[in-house]
Amino acid sequence: MLILAGAAHPVTSEVSRDRARVDQPYGHESPAPGRRGTHDRPYTALNLRLLLAGFGLAMSTILAILAARSGVPWLAVVLGVLAVVAAVDLVVVQRRRRARRREDPQGRYSLFE
Protein backbone atom coordinates (compact mmCIF):
# COMPACT_ATOMS: atom_id res chain seq x y z
CA MET A 1 0.00 0.00 0.00
CA LEU A 2 1.37 3.39 -1.04
CA ILE A 3 0.96 6.31 1.37
CA LEU A 4 1.15 9.74 -0.21
CA ALA A 5 2.52 12.71 1.66
CA GLY A 6 -0.27 14.96 2.88
CA ALA A 7 -3.02 12.41 2.26
CA ALA A 8 -5.23 11.94 5.29
CA HIS A 9 -5.95 8.45 6.47
CA PRO A 10 -9.73 7.83 6.44
CA VAL A 11 -9.84 6.48 9.99
CA THR A 12 -7.72 9.35 11.33
CA SER A 13 -9.92 11.98 9.69
CA GLU A 14 -13.08 10.36 11.11
CA VAL A 15 -11.57 10.27 14.58
CA SER A 16 -10.55 13.93 14.41
CA ARG A 17 -14.07 14.89 13.25
CA ASP A 18 -15.60 12.94 16.14
CA ARG A 19 -13.17 14.54 18.57
CA ALA A 20 -14.13 17.99 17.27
CA ARG A 21 -17.82 17.20 17.82
CA VAL A 22 -17.15 16.10 21.41
CA ASP A 23 -15.29 19.35 22.20
CA GLN A 24 -18.26 21.50 21.17
CA PRO A 25 -21.00 22.27 23.69
CA TYR A 26 -24.35 20.52 23.33
CA GLY A 27 -26.58 22.15 20.73
CA HIS A 28 -23.71 24.06 19.15
CA GLU A 29 -24.10 24.36 15.41
CA SER A 30 -20.78 24.74 13.68
CA PRO A 31 -20.69 27.17 10.75
CA ALA A 32 -20.81 25.91 7.20
CA PRO A 33 -17.53 24.60 5.80
CA GLY A 34 -15.31 27.43 4.66
CA ARG A 35 -16.99 29.99 6.92
CA ARG A 36 -15.05 31.23 9.91
CA GLY A 37 -17.60 33.18 11.91
CA THR A 38 -21.24 33.44 12.85
CA HIS A 39 -23.48 36.23 14.14
CA ASP A 40 -22.79 35.01 17.66
CA ARG A 41 -19.02 34.87 17.25
CA PRO A 42 -17.92 37.05 14.32
CA TYR A 43 -14.52 36.36 12.88
CA THR A 44 -13.66 40.05 12.59
CA ALA A 45 -13.92 42.92 15.04
CA LEU A 46 -16.95 44.59 13.49
CA ASN A 47 -16.57 47.98 15.15
CA LEU A 48 -12.93 48.25 14.16
CA ARG A 49 -13.75 47.08 10.65
CA LEU A 50 -16.45 49.76 10.42
CA LEU A 51 -13.96 52.43 11.49
CA LEU A 52 -11.34 51.25 8.99
CA ALA A 53 -13.88 51.05 6.15
CA GLY A 54 -15.01 54.60 6.90
CA PHE A 55 -11.41 55.80 6.87
CA GLY A 56 -10.76 53.97 3.61
CA LEU A 57 -13.87 55.47 2.03
CA ALA A 58 -12.93 59.00 3.05
CA MET A 59 -9.30 58.74 1.97
CA SER A 60 -10.05 56.97 -1.31
CA THR A 61 -12.67 59.56 -2.22
CA ILE A 62 -10.44 62.52 -1.38
CA LEU A 63 -7.46 61.05 -3.22
CA ALA A 64 -9.62 60.12 -6.23
CA ILE A 65 -10.82 63.73 -6.50
CA LEU A 66 -7.26 65.02 -6.21
CA ALA A 67 -6.03 62.54 -8.83
CA ALA A 68 -8.80 63.55 -11.23
CA ARG A 69 -8.02 67.26 -10.79
CA SER A 70 -4.29 66.70 -11.32
CA GLY A 71 -4.87 64.90 -14.62
CA VAL A 72 -4.18 61.27 -13.65
CA PRO A 73 -7.44 59.59 -14.69
CA TRP A 74 -6.27 55.97 -14.25
CA LEU A 75 -5.38 56.64 -10.62
CA ALA A 76 -8.71 58.39 -10.06
CA VAL A 77 -10.53 55.33 -11.42
CA VAL A 78 -8.55 52.92 -9.22
CA LEU A 79 -9.19 55.03 -6.13
CA GLY A 80 -12.86 55.37 -7.10
CA VAL A 81 -13.17 51.59 -7.25
CA LEU A 82 -11.55 51.33 -3.82
CA ALA A 83 -14.03 53.90 -2.50
CA VAL A 84 -16.93 51.82 -3.83
CA VAL A 85 -15.50 48.68 -2.20
CA ALA A 86 -15.16 50.54 1.12
CA ALA A 87 -18.76 51.79 0.84
CA VAL A 88 -20.04 48.25 0.23
CA ASP A 89 -17.99 47.04 3.20
CA LEU A 90 -19.57 49.75 5.37
CA VAL A 91 -23.04 48.49 4.45
CA VAL A 92 -22.13 44.84 5.08
CA VAL A 93 -20.53 45.57 8.45
CA GLN A 94 -23.45 47.72 9.57
CA ARG A 95 -25.92 44.95 8.67
CA ARG A 96 -23.87 42.47 10.70
CA ARG A 97 -23.73 44.84 13.66
CA ARG A 98 -27.52 45.25 13.56
CA ALA A 99 -27.98 41.47 13.41
CA ARG A 100 -25.67 41.11 16.41
CA ARG A 101 -27.63 43.76 18.32
CA ARG A 102 -30.90 41.93 17.57
CA GLU A 103 -29.38 38.73 18.96
CA ASP A 104 -28.01 40.41 22.10
CA PRO A 105 -29.65 43.81 22.76
CA GLN A 106 -27.96 44.20 26.16
CA GLY A 107 -24.48 43.48 24.82
CA ARG A 108 -21.81 46.13 25.07
CA TYR A 109 -19.15 45.91 22.42
CA SER A 110 -15.81 47.65 22.44
CA LEU A 111 -13.95 48.84 19.36
CA PHE A 112 -11.97 45.61 19.10
CA GLU A 113 -14.81 43.17 19.81
Q: Where are the domains of the chain?
A: 39-103
Chain-wide mean pLDDT for the chain? 76
* Total Cβ atoms within 10 A of residue 50: 19
Contact 38, 31 (CB under 8 A): yes
Residue 5, sorted as left (phi over 0), alpha (psi -120 to 50) or beta, turns out to be beta
- Kind plus residue range of the DSSP H or E element containing 96: helix 73-103
Cα angle vertex 23, ends 20, 24, to 5°?
Answer: 95
* Total Cβ atoms within 10 A of residue 13: 11
CA dist., res. 63 & res. 56, Å (int)? 10
Query: Cα–Cα distances in Å, from 2 out to 13, 84, 97?
Result: 18, 52, 51
- 55-113 per-position pLDDT tens digit: 999 999 999 999 999 999 999 999 999 999 999 999 999 898 888 778 777 777 766 66
- 14-65 per-position pLDDT tens digit: 545 544 544 555 444 555 555 566 666 656 688 888 999 999 999 999 999 9
Residue 108, helix vs strand vs coil: coil
